[in-house]
Structure 1
Amino acid sequence: MTNKKTRAKSPWPNLPMEGVDESTWVDVIQKMDEVYTRLIDDEVELEKKNAELESSQQFIFSVLTSMSDVLVVCDANGVIEQANAALCELAGRPEEQLRGTPLYALLADAQSQELARAAMEKADAPRAGEGFELNLLDRAGQAVSVDANCTPRIGERGRRVGTVWVGRPTAELKRAYHEMRAAHEALKRTQQQLLHSEKLASLGQLVAGVAHELNNPISFVLGNVHALSKYSDRLRTYLAAIHAHEPKAVLAEMRRKLRIEHLLADLPSLIEGTLEGAQRTADIVHGLKRFSAMDSEERKPVNLPEVIERAIHWVQKGRSAPVDVQWETGPPLTVMGSAGQLQQVMMNLLQNGFDAVGQNEAPHIWVTVGHADGMVRVVLRDNGPGIPPEHLLRIFDPFFTTKPVGKGTGLGLSISYGIVEQHGGRLSARNAEGGGAEFVLELPLA
């Protein structure tokens, strides 16, 4: 039976053949239709694959074009097969001119050429690539330092068929690094100046007490010098009489009248007292210079109880009204750090405690020190009003202060917190159970 519909759609003519009936001819036409349809489908699929390939090539081209790093692909002989836009821009030549050119022609010196040649001829080059610093020639013929990476290009059979070079000009990186280093140094200098300024501010609060402290030995030395001046006049008069060969009776009377025996007996104590007063004055000045001096970053063994003792002494001298400080020196406890910076921390904590108890009828400060688990622990507590809960989280923030304008900079506790952190320790604040504020300082035991 003849399929008229199929035959009408077939593009092939209906030609009669001897020995072939009509049904066989219909089957042939149907097979030819199937082949034709398959060819059309394959052509559509091929066009689709071509479109995907073209899209992939366009994507790779856009990536290579947008790369800021230079990229060059060489064959096994070091001849350039492909280069990206960054390299073309750096060399000042289009890719068409770079293709077929030896890579060595782009290098600025013999050392760079030798490094590149050794990398491309290396048989056991790592798949991850190797790093080199090469000098490329730019469009003006000047050498440009490039941090380059050489990666072998592997073919189908696992053999090396070329090399891929990726490089980044380091001039901009070096400039950025130097700028960052300069900014870091400036920040360190500013931090040191801020630390020193806060130290001088603390020192200014001690001037009144220091003046009183200096007045005692200076007055003592001044009185002794006046006495020595009078004794000097008497001795000069007596020696003049001796040199004039006065009679012994006259000399004896003069000796009694000028009280030479008493003068000679008093001279050693006057000299000793004068030296002692001068030494006390020198010690005070030395302590002030040590506290106000810029601290070096060198860490040395520091006996922390001595630092606390010295801080209590200086802060007490700066108070017009005395504050009862309960403190026992105890055994030496050594930490590694800067004695001047640690003294500044203790003085800041003590000064805050003294300010907090200033309005109390019986101001009191407790300072205890101990050690456990390799840490020295200093607890400073006062009987003041304590720290308001809303201020506890901000107590160590820079420029945060509850004191009136002109009474505080808001930097003392912040700088102290930073110093303690630099020493590998911790500084915390809380309200004590019995009332008042409590600061806890912990430092690693040397």
Structure 2
Amino acid sequence: MPDRPRTPPALPDFTAHGAPGPDGVDDSAWMDVIHKMDEVYSQLVADEVALEEKNAQLEQSQQFIFSLLTAMSDVLVACNSAGEIEETNAALCELTGRSDAALRGAPVTSLMADEAGVARIRHAMGTPALQRGGTVIEVELRDAAGQPVPVDFNCTPRLDATGRRVGLVFVGRPMGELKRAYHQLREAHEALKRTQQQLLHSEKMASLGRLVAGVAHELNNPISFVLGNVHALQRYTERLRRYLGEIHAGTPVDSLAPMRRQLRIDHLLADLPSLMEGTLEGAQRTADIVQGLKRFSAADRGERGAVALNEVVEQAIHWVRKGTAPSFDVRWSPGPDATVQGSAGQLLQVMLNLIQNAWDAASSSGASPPTLWITGTLDGTTARLTFRDNGPGIADEHLGRLFDPFFTTKPVGKGTGLGLSISYGIVEQHGGRLLAGNGLDGGAEFVVELPAM
């Protein structure tokens, strides 16, 4: 209220000439009355000032609360014990497309989009021992377009000055955008996993592709041997058929002798055992090569067993030499026979990767000849393999990123950057470690440590 002059009302001056006041009241009594009236008026003025200050404070508090409700991004509904809405905020009005005036007095259940939400609200209203810290209920509100919007409401009791529950307060956040974002994130995660599997498969196929030349060369010898023997057997079969035909026709023995010499039947019969033995040996060699290739290329099914580590290294050296690096000088110093628990195919992939990387590094640096030293040791229960090449070594800035996926120092198109990352994961899955560094005499040095059985 505006300030205005406050002066006490004028009183009659009964003491002007010492005359007694009305009804014979003396001067002192009137003075007491005047003083009391002045005190009462002063108190009224003070109370009015205090009331104006409290009104101003109350208005500020209301404005503060209103600004909080307006600024809230979460929707708020306060209802009485009968479930009638008493307070809302701007977020709820915007979501539902209804004004604050239209919402006040309406049942809180009218906000729900389905009967399930209505049942959950009524259950919360009828629960006398509602948690003071709040109870979360999942409902769907109907938005301005009439579409259901999922909201997680935190429901808390509203108490009066005596601690009696007079209603409930619902505060919630519309989860539509969040759930859509979560759905998109889950789809992206699934796509990323599929891509990762494809990349892993591509890297494995790339490793397998580097062996194709070696496999072709390796298979060529026994297959050519088998084919040559089969052709010889076909010729022998034709001779035997002619000779046996003459015998079955009843040709005299004297007449058969020249044919026997002409068809070289005795030489044929002497040659058959070695011919069959060579054919079987070539077929078995081919089967062994195919079986070894299948162990590497077959998808990993989690099947594990005892693996002779030295044999895996020797097989990897053999494949790389027969494939992409026939001139690679690999000096293999096997340690004691070490058996580890794991997947032979996966460990072969690790060895192939390390040997192939050593060849790439040594040959690209112009080392003559490209050389790799592989040393095996057995230290108690730890089998250790050290791979050291005579390449340029690993730059200091690359040491910390060497096992990161997609990191590669090779030219574009020459490497995926997944080989060492996959090898690191395989060794770790086998309970071991894959370490990288530079040798004392130069060149890169990789150490594979695996728990021995």
TM-score normalised by the shorter chain: which range applies? Answer: 0.7 to 0.9
2:67 matched to which residue of 1?
A: 59
Letter in 1 for 2:168: T
Q: 1:400 to 1:119 in 2, by over 3 A?
A: closer
Tell me: CA distance 1:109–1:393, structure 2 relative to 1, closer, same or farther (3 Å). closer
Residue of structure 1 in register with 2:207 after alignment:
202
1:189 maps onto 2:194 in alignment: yes
CA deviation after TM superposition for structure 1 residue 121, in Å: 0.9
Deviation at 1:399, TM superposition (A): 5.5
Structure 1: segments with no counterpart, 5+ residues: 1-8
Between 1:362-371 and 1:53-62, the stretch displaced more is: 362-371
2:444 matched to 1:437?
yes
Change (3 A) 1:139 1:41: closer
Moved more, 233-242 or 123-132: 123-132
For 1:72 and 1:262, how far apart are their aligned partners in 2?
106
Q: Aligned partners of 1:53 and 1:283: how far apart in 2?
A: 88
Letter in 2 for 1:352: N
Amino acid at match of 2:208: L
The 1:170–1:422 alpha-carbon spacing in structure 2 relative to 1, beyond 3 Å, is farther
**8 Å contact kept, 2:339–2:452:** no
Structure 1 counterpart of 2:50, one-letter code? D
Q: CA deviation at 1:434?
A: 4.6
Match of 2:130 in 1: 125
Answer yes or no: is the 8 Å Cα contact 1:376–1:444 preserved in 2: yes
Are positions 1:367 and 2:375 aligned together? yes
Correspondences of 1:19-418 after superposition (within 5 Å): 19-20=27-28, 31=39, 35=43, 38-39=46-47, 41-43=49-51, 45-63=53-71, 66-67=72-73, 69-292=74-297, 295=299, 298=302, 300-301=304-305, 303=307, 305=309, 306-318=311-323, 319-323=325-329, 324-328=331-335, 330-335=337-342, 339-358=344-363, 359-361=367-369, 363-368=371-376, 370=378, 377-397=384-404, 401-403=408-410, 408-417=415-424
Opposite residue 140 of structure 2, the aligned amino acid is N
The residue matched to 1:263 in structure 2 has which SS? helix
Give the partner amino acid of 1:117.
Answer: R
Query: For structure 1, which segment, 75-84 or 267-276, has the greater mean C-alpha deviation from structure 2 after superposition?
Result: 267-276
The AA in structure 2 aligned to 1:202 is S
C-alpha distance in 2 between matches for 1:142 and 1:441:
60
Rate the CA distance shift 1:198–1:123 in 2: closer, same or farther, 3 A. Answer: same
C-alpha change, 1:90 and 1:275, in structure 2 (3 Å) is: farther
Q: CA deviation at 1:299?
A: 6.5
Cα contact 1:10–1:29 (8 A) shared by 2: no
Deviation at 1:283, TM superposition (A): 3.6
160-169 vs 250-259, which moves further = 250-259
Q: What is the rounded CA distance, in whole Å, between the counterparts of 1:445 and 1:286 in structure 2?
A: 25
**C-alpha distance 38-285 of structure 1, shift in aligned 2 (>3 A):** same
Q: How big is each residue's C-alpha offset from its partner over 1:105-138, in whole Å with a ceiling of 9 and x where there is no partner?
A: 3333333322322222112222233333323334
Structure 1 vs Structure 2 CA RMSD: 3.7
Tell me the CA shift for residue 48 of structure 1.
Answer: 4.2
Give how far 1:237 is off. 1.0
- Aligned to 1:152, the other structure's residue is in SS state strand
Structure 2 residue matching 1:20: 3-state secondary structure:
helix
Structure 1 271/167 Cα, relative in aligned 2: closer, same or farther at 3 Å? Answer: farther
Which ranges in structure 2 are unaligned for 5 or more consecutive residues? 1-5, 15-20
* CA displacement at 1:72 relative to structure 2: 1.9
Contact kept, 8 Å, 1:353 with 1:365, in 2: the verdict is no
CA separation of 1:379 and 1:234: change in aligned 2, threshold 3 A: same
TM-aligned CA distance change 1:39 to 1:85, over 3 Å: closer
CA contact 1:75–1:163 (8 Å) conserved in 2: yes
Write the distance in 1 (CA, Å) between the matches of 2:63 and 2:303: 63
Contact 1:309 1:329 in 2 (8 A): no
Partner residue in 2 for 1:428: 435
Counterpart-to-counterpart distance in 1, 2:385 and 2:131: 57
- Letter of the 2:235 partner, please give it: K
Does structure 1 conserve the Cα–Cα contact (< 8 Å) formed by 2:393 and 2:442? yes
In the alignment, the residues of structure 1 paired with residue 452 and residue 53 of structure 2 have an alpha-carbon distance, to the nearest angstrom, of: 77
Q: Relative to 1, partners in 2 of residues 1:88 and 1:407: Cα closer, same or farther, differing over 3 Å? A: closer
* 8 Å contact kept, 2:341–2:452: yes
